[in-house]
Amino acid sequence: MSKDYSVPVLDGEGDNDYTRYMRTDTLLSLQRKPEDVIHRDELLFQVVHQSTELWLKLACHEVEEAARQIDAGRLDTAARLLARASLSARLTADQLEMMRHLAPWDFQIIRTVLGHGSGFESPGWKAARQVSQELDKSFRRLVEARGTDLVEVYRDGHDTPEYRLAEAMIDWDERISLWRTQHYKMATRVIGHSVVGTKGAPVEFLAKLIGHKFFPQLWELRTELTLSGPLGDAEAAPEFAEEATASACPMSGAGA
């Protein structure tokens, strides 16, 4: 007797197993109902932000596990998981392209129903900060326990687990920074400069977050490599002397 594939075998709500496993009935009900929206582009706005939370949930899941793998000494596994997290962050940034299709005046209408809601309250970005801090702690414990000289690792150890892990961490940090950059540009494209967002923060505050680093030790390492390299004694040209002096003592980035 042939199997009847039209009959669901999973428990749950829905007419078929895809709907029951993916919980699509619930997922697709999470957007504002047509009778409640005041502008048709609310769906665009919500889908971008809701999908961001899903990608960040996956990214944080991977970063959290990567920290545990570091503590267990499985560095290549940790690096592999961080690559997943970085791709999730890239996809989060890529979907901001959809916001280009939201006209500035149309967003002014949508803003009236957002209350004081803001990306600063995003559970996904809060979790990203938390798991990145735990990842940094795990990495620092590893370096201390092994007595690792990171400068030497970067000079001579390109094929070592330590190098691959450090670069995977840089990839994750950089992807978050690239998202912040794109988010800031998107925000100014939609609402302009010198204005206040829904949470009362000036839009320029977003620009300050771009320079924040989760793993400053690994970024400072690059400066050390350059200064100790064959051209490390290079001096700025006179026309750039003032900028070079200012960049030598930058302001610390704000948390994001």
Output the pLDDT for position 77. Answer: 98
pLDDT band at 1 (very low <50, low <70, confident <90, very high): confident
Output the pLDDT for position 221. Answer: 95
Output the pLDDT for position 247. Answer: 66
Across 62-76, 105-119, 167-181, least confident range: 105-119
Angle at 215 between CA 174 and CA 60, to 5 degrees: 70
Task: Average the pLDDT over 218-229 and give the result.
Answer: 94
Asked if 206 and 183 touch (Cβ cutoff 8 Å), the reply is yes
Output the pLDDT for position 194. Answer: 79
Query: Is the pLDDT assigned to residue 84 strictly greater than 50?
Result: yes
Q: Where is pLDDT greater, at 112 or 239? A: 112
- Percent of the chain residues past pLDDT 70, beyond the cut: 95
Output the pLDDT for position 255. Answer: 43
Q: DSSP H helical segments within 103-160, as ranges?
A: 104-111, 123-146, 150-156
- Mean pLDDT, the chain, rounded, equals 91
Asked if 161 and 74 touch (Cβ cutoff 8 Å), the reply is no
Per-residue model confidence as pLDDT tens digits over 33-57: 999 999 999 999 999 999 999 999 9
Cα atoms in the 13 Å half-sphere on the side-chain side of 249: 3
Task: Average the pLDDT over 140-159 and give the result.
Answer: 94
Query: Is the pLDDT assigned to residue 145 strictly greater than 70?
Result: yes
Rounded distance between C-alpha atoms, residue 119 and residue 132, angstroms: 18
Output the pLDDT for position 162. Answer: 97
Query: Is the pLDDT assigned to residue 253 strictly greater than 60?
Result: no
Task: Give 25-78 as a DSSP string.
Answer: HHHTTSSPPTTT-SSTTHHHHHHHHHHHHHHHHHHHHHHHHHHHHHHTT-HHHH
Per-residue model confidence as pLDDT tens digits over 106-142: 999 999 999 887 777 899 999 999 999 999 999 999 9
pLDDT band at 254 (very low <50, low <70, confident <90, very high): very low
How much is the pTM? 0.89
Rounded distance between C-alpha atoms, residue 91 and residue 131, angstroms: 19
Query: Is the pLDDT assigned to residue 249 strictly greater than 60?
Result: no
Q: Where is pLDDT greater, at 189 or 77? A: 77
Query: Is the pLDDT assigned to residue 79 strictly greater than 60?
Result: yes
Name the 3-class secondary structure at 160: coil
